[in-house]
A and B are shown apart, each in its own frame.
Chain A
Amino acid sequence: MDQPELITQLQLGDESAFTKLVDEYQDMVYNTALGIVQQADDADDITQEVFIQVYQSISSFKGDSKFSTWLYRIAVSKALDHEKKKKRKKRFGFVQSLFGGDGEEQVHPVEFDHPGIQAEKKESAAALFRALKQIPDNQRIVFSLHKLEGQSNREIAAIMNTSLQAVESLMSRAKASLKKELNDYYQKNIT
Chain B
Amino acid sequence: MNKHENINKLIDDALKSADDIKRAAVKPFLLTRIHARMNKGKESLWEKAGWLIGRPAVAFTGLCMILLINITVVMVNKPSATDYAVERSSQQQVDEFSYTVATIYEIDNTQQNDK
Chain A residues with CB under 8 Å of chain B are 19, 22-23, 26-28, 30-31, 34, 40, 44, 47-48, 51-52, 55, 114-118, 121, 124-125, 127-128, 131, 147-148, 175, 178-179, 182-183, 186-187, 190
Contacts and interface: CB of A to CB of B under 8 A. Distances in A.
A23 B30 CA distance: 9
Contacts of B18: 114, 117, 125, 128, 147-148
A124 B6 CA distance: 13
B79 to A, nearest CB: 40
Given A26-B26, A114-B21, A116-B21, A48 B14 contact: no
Given A48-B37, A51-B34, A182 B24 contact: no
Q: Do most interface residues of chain A lie in helix, strand or loop, or is the interface mixed?
A: helix
Contacts of A31: 23-24
Minimum-distance CB pairs A-B, first 9: A116-B22, A124-B17, A125-B17, A121-B17, A128-B14, A124-B14, A124-B13, A115-B24, A186-B7
B10 A127 contact: yes
Given A52-B41, A125-B18, 8 more contacts: A27-B26, A118-B20, A124-B13, A124-B14, A125-B17, A147-B18, A179-B15, A182-B14
A188 to B, nearest CB: 11
A190 B26 contact: no
Given A125-B18, A128-B17, A186 B11 contact: yes
Contacts of A30: 24, 26
B78 interface: no
Interface string B7-49: 1001101111111111111110011011001100100000000
B115 interface: no
B55 interface: no
Contact of B30 (A26, A34, A128, A175): A26
A183 B4 CA distance: 10
A124 B23 CA distance: 18
A161 B15 CA distance: 26
Contact of A52 (B19, B27, B38): B38
Contacts of B20: 118
Contacts of A23: 31
Given A44-B27, A52-B34, A115-B25, A183 B7 contact: yes
Contact of B24 (A34, A118, A179, A183): A34
A44 B18 CA distance: 21
A22 B16 CA distance: 31
Nearest to A34: B24
A98 B19 CA distance: 43
Contacts of A22: 30-31, 34
